[in-house]
A = this chain, B = another copy of it.
Amino acid sequence: MRSTPSRDDMDTGERLHWVDELQSPLLTDLYQLTMLQAYVANDMHGEAVFELFARRLPERRNFLVAAGLEQLLDFLETVRFSENELHWLREHGHANERLLEYLRDFHFSGDVYAVPEGTVVFANEPLVRVVAPLPQAQLVESRLVNLINFQTVIASKAARSVQAAPGRLLVDFGMRRSHGSEAALLAARAAYMSGFSGSATVLAERLFGIPVYGTMAHSFVQAHDSEEAAFEAFARSQPDNVVLLIDTYDTVRGAHKVVELIPRLRESGITVAAVRLDSGDLLALSKEVRAVLDANGANDVHIFASGGLNEYELERLIGAGAPIDGFGIGTDLDVSSDAPYLDCAYKLQEYNGQARRKRSTGKATWPGRKQIFRRYGSDGVFAGDIIGIETESREGGPLMTPVMRYGRRLQTQESLETLRERAQVSLAALPLPLRSLQQSAEYPVEISLGVRNLAAELDRMTG
């Protein structure tokens, strides 16, 4: 892949490598270009206001954790069309000359307001507001939704495991069944933000500083002539990270082999940190394995479990007293299998100073530039939100803040640790019933009178 020429040097027609093109502005829906052609033809460059929000929470979700803003701002700061892309658009009939001219100079010069990453939010609450000339605000829609939807889905899912297993080590194991490369990488980021201890995905440490964890696969054990030989070879090769997978043939017999190995390793100054269980009845097996370890003086060897886990399983295992110190959560986390998407929308709320409203059956939107006002009880717990017009003066901390002006970030990038702390604080302030893994009573989110009046006024005008 390294020998691929840079994108701008590449002749159209040459075979393009797909991974090199994932940053292309052509990763968008065609209708953005068809609409832009009309906007540009009719000089519709007035200021547009779009907001992204979830219409409703997915089943079994009582809250969301906002995530993905950092990657969105990266995208907005850098989105450009190359000459090759413009040439291709022309050749394939996707842009007339006037649109091509517009796209040649395209860069995002608008303002962005957003709920900071790591903040708990609810249905209808705007996560992001874009204020920009109409064609700009429109063109960025597809990737904007793509970036915010995914990480918010994963951060929200991950927070549930963190709540189900307080104080345990939780590691993202899901790369292989993530939906592609970007999903694998950004799932690790979103899960860490919501309180996971780290990820198995090495690139997540390289790019985001996320702690990575890794042990061995069954193939490692199978490739050796015996389980004992595999354990010893691993321990001697990784003396600082001895976590042994003991379920390849028989979990309890595997535990016995570990305790037999421990004294021999001790002579070389090597200690076994943990054993990993990856199959079978994890509750029963973890108890048996703990007993074997403790009976042989290996009280300091931890038990780590993986294999088809999710927050429901964590709650069950911990509730039943499974002596498991850490968990690898894979597929169910990285695809958020019980709720793999948000019913979210990026909707025009104002154009040329005039509020706008969509009234489609079941998909009506609240118009105007909105703000989230959150009140807190004396115990610091969320007491209710109001979605009001930005300029309304309401009780409670406004959650949306300006993050980009004239197409440039307003502040330096927040560290992932800062976002993680914010999520921890925000999750700790959730009303207790909302921490349930089952659907609870809905958190009170009120639409202000100002917003309702504006909607009614628009309905009369366009009636």
Query: What is the interface of chain A, defined by CB distance below 8 A to chain B?
Result: 1-3, 6-8, 16-24, 26-35, 37-39, 41-42, 44, 48, 50, 71, 74, 78-80, 82, 85, 88, 92-94, 134, 138, 141-143, 145-147, 149-150, 153, 173, 175-187, 200-203, 205-207, 212-220, 222-223, 233-234, 236-238, 240-241, 247-251, 278-281, 307, 331, 335-337, 340-342, 344, 347-348, 351, 356-363, 462
Contacts and interface: CB of A to CB of B under 8 A. Distances in A.
A137 to B, nearest CB: 8
B340 A279 contact: no
A197 to B, nearest CB: 13
18 contacts: A1-B23, A6-B6, A27-B181, A27-B201, A28-B202, A29-B202, A30-B214, A33-B202, A35-B217, A38-B234, A92-B205, A94-B212, A146-B180, A179-B180, A183-B183, A222-B348, A248-B358, A281-B361
B219 A348 contact: yes
In this complex, the member of A1, A180, A358 whose beta carbon has the largest number of chain B beta carbons within 10 angstroms is: A180
A218 B360 contact: yes
Nearest to A285: B361
Given A19-B22, A279-B361, A280-B360, 8 more contacts: A1-B23, A21-B206, A35-B217, A92-B205, A92-B206, A153-B179, A222-B357, A278-B363
A82 B241 CA distance: 25
A358 B222 contact: yes
A344 B238 CA distance: 28
A340 B335 contact: yes
A150 B180 contact: yes
A216 B7 CA distance: 29
Nearest to A342: B177
In this complex, the member of A94, A149, A207, A249 whose beta carbon has the largest number of chain B beta carbons within 10 angstroms is: A207
Given A34-B238, A38-B234, A213-B30, A142 B360 contact: no
A29 B223 contact: no
A186 B20 CA distance: 13
Contacts of A249: 359-360, 462
A331 B251 CA distance: 41
B182 A181 contact: yes
A130 to B, nearest CB: 11
B175 A215 contact: no
Contact of A29 (B8, B74, B176, B180): B176
B182 A31 contact: no
